[in-house]
Amino acid sequence: MKTILPFLALGLLLGVSTATAADTLPSWSDGAAKQSIVDFVAKVTKEGSSDFVPVAERIATFDNDGTLWCEQPMYFQLIFALDRMKALAPQHPEWKDKEPFASLLKGDLKAALAGGERAMAEIIMATHAGMTNEEFEQIVKDWIATAKHPKFKKPYTECVYQPMLELLAYLRANGFKTFIVSGGGIEFMRPWTEKVYGIPPEQVVGSSIKTKYEMRDGKPVLIRLPEVNFIDDKSGKPVGINEHIGRRPIAAFGNSDGDLQMLQWTTAGQGPRFALYVHHTDAEREWAYDRNSSIGRLDKGLSEAQAKGWTVVDMKRDWKVIYPPVKQ
Amino acid sequence: MKTILPFLALGLLLGVSTATAADTLPSWSDGAAKQSIVDFVAKVTKEGSSDFVPVAERIATFDNDGTLWCEQPMYFQLIFALDRMKALAPQHPEWKDKEPFASLLKGDLKAALAGGERAMAEIIMATHAGMTNEEFEQIVKDWIATAKHPKFKKPYTECVYQPMLELLAYLRANGFKTFIVSGGGIEFMRPWTEKVYGIPPEQVVGSSIKTKYEMRDGKPVLIRLPEVNFIDDKSGKPVGINEHIGRRPIAAFGNSDGDLQMLQWTTAGQGPRFALYVHHTDAEREWAYDRNSSIGRLDKGLSEAQAKGWTVVDMKRDWKVIYPPVKQ
């Protein structure tokens, strides 16, 4: 034992930062992706260096679907909407003869979505509007607590990526403020993001419908209206970031072409910048898809990432585990 | 000397919290207003009590115009717009024959504003849109650094209320997250709120115009469009709070009927709540106005505050000083 003590001491002296990074991102394989993250964080947190970024400006934005949690076999919010439709169907006998509801209630998702964006909007409005914001919050909380992923048979909040949870914590430990910037509904995410990701409601940016303030029985409420307010996707992401955060992120994380403008906007700022794409390459543990997928297509973004040298995570190679340990 | 030592020691033992409050809000006169603030903060921060509020939920929202800084002889953002118009006039020869610009350039504010909201909107769009968000930020920074208040002859950022600066700091020292929720332009405030109030851009909610993401010479920019996005006033305030913060404040601070819905929304939540109106009663050191003022009218709000027992600050009586010490 005695003989290795000096080496241990030497290791403690020399290896502090490496050891910390390894401990902090344990689900990441050693390789270029992990190294690029650790290098960037070391660079912007080194006081006195020309790359140093003050804590207040360490803004990191994360897409949600396909970046922090799964988006297969379809967006989880769409599954939520379908579950809501089934629950609401008894109050809507007219849905039996009206598309896209009729097809959906027969279980024919393909026929229902043949109506494109308009069909999608009808499903969202029928299930997401018409109640107060607090009623909707409770509906989401109830669903997220009980619904299970069709393939993995576990709650959706456990279909999150363990390496990304570690990354969020690692960035926050280094003074970053972490935000979600998602095409998903802002009020669909807020009820659970703090518990699952450590991201509070005020740091969630997403798509939204309009709300209206009114008095009901002498009590003020916000009513959710069947009218789109903002679509936080593609070129909407920099707009949403500017509106909600008011400063440009120095690091951004996505997985699809819907995140491309966010990554462009982030990396076009002055000083050190970081952009990362999660590339779904793991058909065995998760899914493998990119340029030709209808969900989470990564085509232009993949080409631009390669051309610009952004970090591309090869999920199969770079992540030792995909999901958090199963809760007992 | 020796004889008072035991009393000093006793004071140290018994008087810690009182001493702290007194030291923290030194510009507030002892009285009901100050006491109500201190009592509320003591209540929600007392661990183990039924009124205890976890840090994450200690959200406090502040109106800006007339609550954190002056709004007389007219809203400062309107003065900014008029200054911008004069600067831009040489590029707009057509303004000489077009209202509201013609009257404004002649210095006839009253005639210009006779066109009501439409005239106001034209002035705002002509001066606030058509550039990138970064260009606008620089324009605001330059103006705020050089323009001076017509009566006080000092920068607008020194026409802020010292007691409110102390209050912001006191709340933050007690775990509160402080937000601005103002009818003013979000991008007009963000360039200076962090320095002046300690409130970062991501904690500023305000009115906004639409922006559009596009590429200019291969570089992404956000262009400010001459189109209203959101009016953060009256019933818009709870909507803006919900959109940006995603949880209900436990304390809200305003000075006019434009803040009434924010105070209603805040106090309608469960658990301990706090609402405060700044009542402009000091014609000598600042201004005195309320029920009949065209700027910052406080009429319905004053009645509701009295009926509901909200705190109403009598500026003349409750504030020992109005403005921060003059910077050398």
Of B56, B220, B265, the CB nearest to A264: B220
- Alpha carbon of A275 to those of A160, A272, A312: distances in Å? 20, 10, 9
> At residue B23, does pLDDT exceed 80?
no
Taking an 8 Å cut-off on Cβ atoms, the answer to whether B245 and A212 are in contact is no
- Nearest by CB to B222, which of A133, A201, A242? A242
The pLDDT tens digits of the residues spanning B188-246 come to 999 999 999 999 999 999 999 999 999 999 999 999 999 999 999 999 999 999 999 99
Q: Do B239 and A187 touch (CB under 8 A)?
A: no
pLDDT at B119: 87
Helix axes A260-267, A236-244, angle to 10 degrees: 60
Instruction: Write down the residue that tokens 């591309």 correspond to.
Output: A312
Region B138-164: mean pLDDT is 97
Check residue B270 and report its DSSP letter.
S
DSSP string across A236-253: HHHHHHHHHT-S--SEEE
Chain A residue with minimum CA distance to B187: A246
Contacts of A133 in chain B (CB under 8 A): 242
- As a 3-state breakdown, chain B gives helix, strand, coil percent values, each rounded to 5, of 50, 20, 30
Over residues B119-136, the mean pLDDT reads: 93
Reported confidence tier of residue B20, pLDDT bands at 50, 70, 90: low
List of E strands, chain B:
59-62, 177-185, 204-216, 219-230, 251-254, 274-281, 288-289, 311-314
Contact B220 A238 (CB under 8 A): yes
Interchain CB distance below 8 Å, A261 and B133: no
| H helix intervals, chain A | 5-14, 16-24, 32-44, 76-88, 101-105, 109-113, 116-128, 133-146, 162-173, 186-197, 236-244, 260-267, 300-308, 315-318
- From B318's Cα to the closest Cα of chain A, the distance in A is 31
Highest mean pLDDT out of A203-217, B92-106, B113-127: A203-217
Query: Cβ separation of B264 and A220 shorter than 8 Å?
Result: yes
Could you give the CA distance from residue B119 to residue B99 in angstroms, rounded to a whole number? 8
Q: Does the pLDDT value for residue B17 go beyond 70?
A: no
Is residue B298 within 8 Å of B257, Cβ to Cβ? yes
Nearest-by-Cβ selection for B211 from A202, A239, A268: A239
Report the half-sphere exposure of B199 (CA within 13 A, side-chain side): 29
| pLDDT tens, position by position, A221-248 | 999 999 999 999 999 999 999 999 999 9
Instruction: Determine whether the interchain pair A244/B194 forms a contact, defined as Cβ–Cβ distance below 8 Å.
Output: no
Asked if A246 lies within 8 A of B212 by C-beta distance, the reply is: no
- The reported pLDDT for the residue numbered A125 is 92
Q: How far is residue A13's CA from residue B302's CA, in Å, rounded to a whole number? A: 65
Pick from A311, A305, A308, A270: which is nearest to A51 by CA?
A: A270
A205–chain B nearest CA distance, Å: 8
What is the rounded distance in angstroms from the CA atom of residue B324 to the CA atom of residue B156?
A: 12
Q: pTM of the prediction? A: 0.92
Q: Which residues of A touch B243 (CB under 8 A)?
A: 186, 208, 211, 229
Q: What pLDDT sits at residue A115?
A: 83
Residues of A in contact with B56 (CB under 8 A): 194, 200
In this structure, the number of other CB atoms found within 10 A of the CB of residue A150 comes to: 10
Pair A245, A280: CB distance under 8 Å: no
| Residue carrying the six token digits 């702290």 | B20
Helix, strand or coil, per DSSP, at residue B76: helix
Residue A114 three-state SS = coil
Q: What is the pLDDT of residue A328?
A: 60
The closest CB to that of A220, out of B204, B208, B268, belongs to B268
What is the C-alpha end-to-end distance of chain A, expressed in Å?
Answer: 38
Tell me what pLDDT residue A313 has. 98
Torsion of CA A260, A266, A269, A274, to 10 degrees: -110
Question: Which chain B residues are closer than 8 Å to A268 by Cβ?
Answer: 219-220
For residues B258 and B194, what is the distance between their CA atoms, to the nearest angstrom? Answer: 24
Closest residue on chain A to B208 (Cα): A243
Place of tokens 């390459």: A281
Q: Is the pLDDT of residue A65 over 80?
A: yes
Angle subtended by helix axes A32-44 and A16-24, to nearest 10? 120
- CA–CA gap between residue B176 and residue B150 (Å, rounded): 35
Angle subtended at Cα B180 by Cα B179 and Cα B183, rounded to the nearest 5 degrees: 150
Q: Is B200 on the interface with A (CB under 8 A)?
A: yes
| Among candidates A204, A236, A243 on the partner chain, residue whose Cβ is nearest the Cβ of B246 | A204
User: In whole angstroms, how far apart are CA B40 and each of A140, B46, B166, B270?
Assistant: 32, 10, 16, 15
Confidence of residue B10 (pLDDT cuts 50, 70, 90): very low
Inform me whether the pLDDT recorded for A15 exceeds 50: no
**Percentage of chain A surpassing pLDDT 90?**
85
Element (H, E) at B264: helix B260-267
Q: How far does A210 lie from chain B, in Å, by closest CA?
A: 9
Is B243's CB within 8 Å of A212's CB?
A: no
Q: Report the alpha-carbon distance of residue A46 to residue A28 in Å, rounded.
A: 23
Instruction: Output the pLDDT for position A5.
Output: 45
H-run or E-run covering B266: helix B260-267
| Cα–Cα distance measured from residue B62 to residue B68, given in angstroms and rounded to the nearest whole number | 8
3-state secondary structure of B90: helix
| C-beta atoms of A268 and B186 within 8 A | no
Q: Which residues in A lie closer than 8 A to residue B220 (C-beta atoms)?
A: 238, 261, 264-265, 268
Number of A/B CB contacts below 8 angstroms equals 86
The predicted pLDDT at position A94 comes to: 93
CA distance A265 to B134: 13
Q: Flag whether pLDDT at B325 surpasses 70.
A: yes
pLDDT at A296 over 50: yes
pLDDT at position A119 is: 87
Residue A236: closest CA among A161, A278, A198, A186? A186
Q: Do B220 and A133 touch (CB under 8 A)?
A: no
